[in-house]
Amino acid sequence: MLKQELNLKLQQKLSPQQIQLMKLVQLPTVAFEQRVKEELEENPALDEASSSFEEEYENGSESEWENGNEEFQENNVIDTSDINIDEYLSDDDIPNYKTYTNNYSDDDEEKSVPFAQGDSFIDILVNQLYTNRLTEEEYQLAEFLIGNIDEDGYIRRDLKSLVDDLAFSQNIITDEKTLENLLVNYIQKMDPVGVGARDLQECLMIQLEAKSPTESVELAEKLISESFDAFTKKHYSKLIAKYDVDEDELRDAISEIERLNPKPGKSFSSSSKIVEQITPDFTITIEDTELNLSLNGRNVPELRISNAYAEMLDTYKKTENKSAEQKEAVLFVKQKLDSAKWFIDAVQQRRNTLMVTMEAIMKFQQEYFLTGDETKIKPMILKDISDLIGMDISTVSRVANSKYVQTPYGTFLIKDLFSESLTNDDGEEVSTREIKRILQDVILDENKRSPLTDEKLTEILKEKGYPIARRTIAKYREQLNIPVARLRKEI
């Protein structure tokens, strides 16, 4: 049965301007510069001209506009009663300090980063392929195999799948034996040695077989071909007993293996990649023991409302008999002007938000920025900065997660400064960064023949005054990319 009800509900929604601001705040400097350029291209009412508006557009007749507005409504074409021309024609509403986002001089030197240019890894392999005598079909098959080699130099897919792909995509009927012959006898003979392997074990064997035969190389081949699992798990005592060798002989064989390249493709693929330069969003300098903060806005132009669009509205004001097309045009102009004003305001709010947030972080970590000593980094979480500046935690997160800061001690992500705190035996709060550094130093100084287990590391840190659970030690060790004790063992 249908019935009517009256419900009272309170909702909180973000306005389009707020959404636009959040997106701009999250963008790093390079992406923000691109976003401004896109907006300048898309919105003709937005301009980067440096000249101020002409005085004739500052003192428009308000009564004339109101009369035109009444006529606009009487014709019932489009209701534009909320249009106020003068707010778009006055420089007072959008002063220079509010729209100016470039804090660098025009005389500043612009530095460009050269880009690398060269053949790709696949091109290098294909060029080597054509030094062999093959039939036209074999060339096609070999090129297809090379095309399936990843940047590490491996063919990760099985040959049966490649046979099916050739049948469906190239209309070439072949078999696994033919592909195996091309792979083993031609592709795996190319440089870099080890390319075309299907797994790490095969990659290492290809490289060992290419070495001059010695006792150490022969033992290394046996370790990889016959006892790969035991070798990767570092069961050295079992390997010594199995091959009847002493520790020195096993150490020499392991040394041969350690000199091999587990990712042969990287030696070529990395050379053809474009090196990206990190552009810091903030710069912190020290002058007379005082910290100075600046925001990178070198390539962001000064933004203002387009004079041409202001002229359009002024012309409309002076037109007595306004057509329906003119009225539709002025609505379009108003929408573009609104969008331009919103964007200019969002750009300035972004700048203010970034500066306020980074200033709070800089003051919070003042000791570190003055000395560069990582032990001076205080425990700091997003809520600490959020409370200081009176903004939401999500806003602080958007600033910290994708922005870089340049300091006298290097350039790094702002989020790296954030860390939780732990209380030591003296009741002092210490940063987890400090504990990780101590953990790293302890592991670095350990006896590699008998590496410290997580339980032993827990005891050592407890003796140093840091009572931490074993699972926390394991978590920190994984974050530092340090393997478990068994895999750190050496002979």
SS (H, E, C) the chain: CCCCCCCCCCCCCCCHHHHHHHHHHHCCHHHHHHHHHHHHHHCCCEECCCCCCCHHHCCCCHHHHHHHHHHHHHCCCCCCCCCCCHHHHCCCCCCHHHHCCCCCCCCCCCCCCCCCCCCCHHHHHHHHHCCCCCCHHHHHHHHHHHHCECCCCEECCCHHHHHHHHHHHHCCCCCHHHHHHHHHHCHHHCCCCCCCECCHHHHHHHHHHCCCCCHHHHHHHHHHHHCHHHHHCCCHHHHHHHHCCCHHHHHHHHHHHHCCCCCCCHHHHHHHCCCCCCCCCEEEEEECCEEEEEECCCCCCCCEECHHHHHHHHHHHHCCCCCHHHHHHHHHHHHHHHHHHHHHHHHHHHHHHHHHHHHHHHHHCHHHHHHCCHHHCCCECHHHHHHHHCCCHHHHHHHHHCCEEEECCEEEEHHHHCECEEECCCCCEEEHHHHHHHHHHHHHCCCCCCCCCHHHHHHHHHHCCCCCCHHHHHHHHHHCCCCCHHHHCCC
Mean pLDDT of 384-413: 88
Is 66 a residue whose pLDDT tops 70?
Answer: no
Is 248 a residue whose pLDDT tops 80?
Answer: yes
Is 82 a residue whose pLDDT tops 50?
Answer: no
Q: How confident is the model at residue 361 (pLDDT cuts 50, 70, 90)?
A: very high
Q: What is the pLDDT of residues 146-197, one digit of tens each?
A: 988 888 889 988 888 888 888 888 888 888 898 889 888 998 898 889 898 9
Q: Determine the pLDDT at residue 11.
A: 62
Q: State the average pLDDT for the chain.
A: 77
